[in-house]
Amino acid sequence: MCTGQKTKDAVEPIRAALQNHLESIKRSISEEIRAYPLPIPGCDVHYNQLLEDRSRVSRDMGKLNGLFDDGQPAQDRLTAMSAFVTSSAFVDIEMERRLLADIEEAVSV
């Protein structure tokens, strides 16, 4: 297999891991919102923060999907994913390290 194909093949598992991670966080936030005790006052800071976090993770998911819309070369997608991983508030340090290591390995192929 040629180097370019290996790099291209490496993109999807990294994207899928990141997508699954964000979906898991969104599910968790949504479950917490559903389980929130009623009645919910409009000034409830924690509840409003949950709503904001759910919106932010949805935006991050949209940004991630946007990286795959225009047929960019695999190398450019990996670079964009690296920037995304380091900027997303929903990627913890452990996940960031793992994904960046995977991206670096894919780039060096």
pLDDT digits (tens, 9 = 90+) for 17-67: 999 999 999 999 999 999 999 888 888 899 999 999 999 999 999 999 988
Nearest-5° Cα angle at 6, 89 to 85: 5
- Look at residue 54 in the predicted model and tell me its pLDDT: 98
CA 48/CA 87 separation, integer angstroms = 23
CA 89/CA 103 separation, integer angstroms = 19
Q: Give SS3 for 108.
A: helix
Contact 58, 52 (CB under 8 A): no
Mean of the per-residue pLDDT values of the chain: 89
Where residue 11 falls among pLDDT bands split at 50, 70, 90?
confident
Tokens of 4: 């370019």
Q: What is the pTM of this model?
A: 0.84
Per-residue buried b or exposed e for 62-77, using 16+ beta carbons within 10 Å of the residue's own CB: eebeebeeeeeebeeb
Give the highest mean pLDDT range of 10-14, 44-48, 54-58, 103-107. Answer: 54-58
